[in-house]
Amino acid sequence: MNDKPLQILGRTGSLFTRLPLIFAEELGINYDFVGLEDLAALDPDEYAGNPALRMPILRDDESVLYGSENICRSLAERAKAPARIVWPEDLDDDLSRNAHELVWHCMAAQVQILMAEHVGKVPPNNVLLGKARAGLKGSLDWLEEHATDVVAALPKQRDLSLFEVALYCLVDHLQFGPTVSVENHQSLMAFARQFGARQSAQRTAFR
Ligand SMILES: N[C@@H](CCC(=O)N[C@@H](CS)C(=O)NCC(=O)O)C(=O)O
């Protein structure tokens, strides 16, 4: 068996990269973080071969794996002590499934808006940016109303859920790279404060 640490490739300020970093910390996985330089790069080699030109990527001696959810699943499979993790397919009612969909929508919209503003220098009145901001704001308002109930409905006997990790990373990233305001969403902020007390969150802070 190969004991060389796994590599998680991404950026310390990347919303999607934070998910597997938190999973790795929670699960006690030995890993090296490899920072990627250029968000505008068009060469897949700059993203460990990911043709989608996205991060994070998980790399070991034998393989590369793309996509934050894939990577979280792979890390869970590699954990020495099995953890009780709630995955999207365990959400079995419409409210929880909608909440999952909207968190992932918000994450994609947050990246899209920041990339357009900071990398693309797209004018702020661009219609697609306006729609992305409106969809992000509406989805955040929905999550503000429902996320507490969704979290309360998760199985009590759990170590981690992908939903909570993603929601935490989203709310924290909205403060790190502001696009639409989250500060007045009291229950989302309270959730983030509580989850943010975990060592895994503190060891992976955006910077
Ligand atoms: N579906 C991918 C999305 C990853 C993603 O959008 N990552 C952002 C960084 S947080 C990225 O690579 N952005 C570069 C770009 O948008 O061109 C995943 O779940 O990992």
Residue ranges, comma separated, of all CATH 1.20.1050.10 domains in the chain are 85-202
The rounded Å distance from CA 126 to ligand 1 centre is 21
Q: Is the pLDDT of residue 3 over 70?
A: no
The rounded Å distance from CA 89 to ligand 1 centre is 22
Ligand 1 pocket, residue 36 CB under 6 Å: no
Contact 66, 72 (CB under 8 A): no
Residue ranges, comma separated, of all CATH 3.40.30.10 domains in the chain are 6-78
Ligand 1, pocket-test mutation among 38, 46, 54, 113, most atoms within 8 A of CB: 54
* Burial classification of residue 28, based on how many CB atoms lie within 10 Å of its CB (0-12 exposed, 13-18 middle, 19 or more buried): exposed
- The pTM for the full model equals 0.97
The residue whose CA has the least distance to atom 1 of ligand 1 is 67
Q: Is the pLDDT of residue 2 over 70?
A: no
What are 25-74's pLDDT values in tens digits? Answer: 999 999 999 999 999 999 999 999 999 999 999 999 989 999 999 999 99
* Residue 5 pLDDT level (bands cut at 50, 70, 90): confident
Spatial distance between the Cα atoms of 34 and 48, rounded to a whole number of angstroms: 10
Architecture category of domain 85-202 in CATH: Up-down Bundle (1.20)
The rounded Å distance from CA 1 to ligand 1 centre is 31
CATH of domain 6-78: 3.40.30.10
